[in-house]
Chain A
Amino acid sequence: KAGVTQTPRYLIKTRGQQVTLSCSPISGHRSVSWYQQTPGQGLQFLFEYFSETQRNKGNFPGRFSGRQFSNSRSEMNVSTLELGDSALYLCASSDPGQHNYGYTFGSGTRLTVV
């Protein structure tokens, strides 16, 4: 069973640009969550998608957006990049239909904004 796939692994962008990150969940998992991790911080919740609908959103500005496709793949977009957006972005998939469900994480996308 393939794991959670995130692309690209590394990305360097300049301030003001926009970026799109991709996450393909484990086959059969309908929920995809996105997290941001910066040095010294825990995983900060960005948003969760379930069956193509955003089910929950964290406290991030509107520059951060996402979507989910019918095959459960999800994309995250950050517009007008700022230096502080440099971080590791992790996505995690789960099957909320299972009791005691946990998350399976991808390897992450390391974004550097210069």
Chain B
Amino acid sequence: ILNVEQSPQSLHVQEGDSTNFTCSFPSSNFYALHWYRWETAKSPEALFVMTLNGDEKKKGRISATLNTKEGYSYLYIKGSQPEDSATYLCASTGGFKTIFGAGTRLFVKA
């Protein structure tokens, strides 16, 4: 695994807006793609782990998709709330190594 890229680096939205982030990862030697939410002063918390091309996962207002052939995953948040403010990390696992992206910092204004 060479590099995991996340975009945008940060995002400011209003309460009620829907938003999405992108995670790009090398598609060779791929095993799993993870998404985590990291709130300030807390530990990263697992949201989703996906392994199959075309996987879609959903947890409440948050959902994620996976395209292993082209090496990207999207995370969607529907109707953002202030409590969604956090850093969203993605990580790609392959060859017994998990590499994290730098994260997307989301700010939701009430």
Contact = CB atoms under 8 A, between A and B. Distances in A.
Given A56-B96, A90-B44, A42 B102 contact: yes
Main secondary structure on chain B at its contact with chain A? strand
A77 to B, nearest CB: 21
Contacts of A83: none
Contact of B98 (A90, A103, A104, A108): A103
B10 to A, nearest CB: 11
B96 A42 contact: no
B97 A48 contact: yes
Interface string B80-110: 0000000001010001111111110000000
Nearest to B32: A100
Interface of A: 4, 33, 35, 41-43, 45, 48, 50, 55-56, 90, 92, 99-108
Nearest to B35: A102
Contacts of A108: 43
Contacts of B100: 35, 42-43, 45
Interface of B: 6, 32, 34, 36, 42-46, 49-51, 89, 91, 95-103
A99 B55 CA distance: 14
Given A90-B43, A100-B32, A103-B34, A45 B101 contact: no
Contact of A105 (B32, B44, B95): B44
Given A103-B36, A103-B46, 10 more contacts: A42-B89, A42-B100, A100-B32, A100-B49, A101-B32, A101-B49, A102-B46, A102-B49, A103-B34, A108-B43
A105 B43 contact: yes
Given A41-B102, A42-B103, A45-B98, A102 B34 contact: yes
27 contacts: A33-B98, A35-B100, A41-B102, A42-B101, A42-B102, A43-B100, A45-B98, A48-B97, A48-B98, A50-B96, A56-B95, A90-B44, A92-B44, A99-B51, A100-B32, A100-B49, A100-B51, A101-B32, A101-B49, A102-B46, A103-B44, A103-B98, A105-B36, A105-B43, A105-B44, A107-B42, A108-B43
